[in-house]
Structure 1
């Protein structure tokens, strides 16, 4: 014999859970930030500095949100950088190594002084949190990522 009130309650609970999950996926943890106007990237990139360095903590924490196809130029971080990918699918490549695909939930450790680039894939935007030590200086920018490099051909 079936207990109809329990089935109805279970069905309602499933619908609420699915609806809550859909809402949670659409609600970012942090605001998108400001559209970057620097010349060191291709496409739309939004930046939100979440915590700047101070006399106790010598690192910056920022969120970067990339439209599909957006990417940064080749660059280095004198003291390194850690990228924590929170949404979408992107690319990361170190000079002289193959391009890697990175996804939500993955972490990349950009070693100090290693030339690299990162950005979104052509079909998916990507979002990450970047933790950057600042005691050895700011990002050093180099040349634009070529179309062949972006496509993984170099």
Structure 2
């Protein structure tokens, strides 16, 4: 057993996020484990770019109000205690509502080989604007 050293908080890069997003790596498993867990904090209006995970992803909302959307589906409002699973290869985005912060745990696995996460274009203001009324 060992206590893992806390990594510094990292600002989400502009090519992957719109708005102010910060994350803390909780664990990046070492072989044979491939588990990844981050705490992600979104300021109001902040969101990820479209992306997909080779082995899927689970999000667990811990605070605030957020939005999630799979490509071709409706925008869904999420709140503390909600858990969302995206299957392998599903394009999606997630972030905060325009008027609230949102914090979630992001949980996924790295694949045995290849890229963990493929990043696509930023979610446009028009796409994000479709969330109004949610």
**TM score, norm. by length of structure 1:** 0.75
* Equivalent runs, 1:4-153 vs 2, <5 Å: 33-136=9-112, 137-152=115-130
Cα displacement (A) at 1:150:
0.6
Q: Distance in 1 between matches of 2:25 and 2:100?
A: 23
State the aligned residue count. Answer: 124
Q: Which has the larger radius of gyration?
A: 1
Q: Distance in 1 between matches of 2:20 and 2:84?
A: 22
RMSD: 1.9
Structure of higher RCO (CA pairs closer than 8 Å, 6+ residues apart): 2
**TM score, norm. by length of structure 2:** 0.86
Cα displacement (A) at 1:147:
1.4
Q: Distance in 2 between matches of 1:39 and 1:125?
A: 21
Cα displacement (A) at 1:73:
0.6
Structure 2 alignment gaps of length 5 or more: 1-5
Cα displacement (A) at 1:38:
4.5
Structure 1 alignment gaps of length 5 or more: 1-29
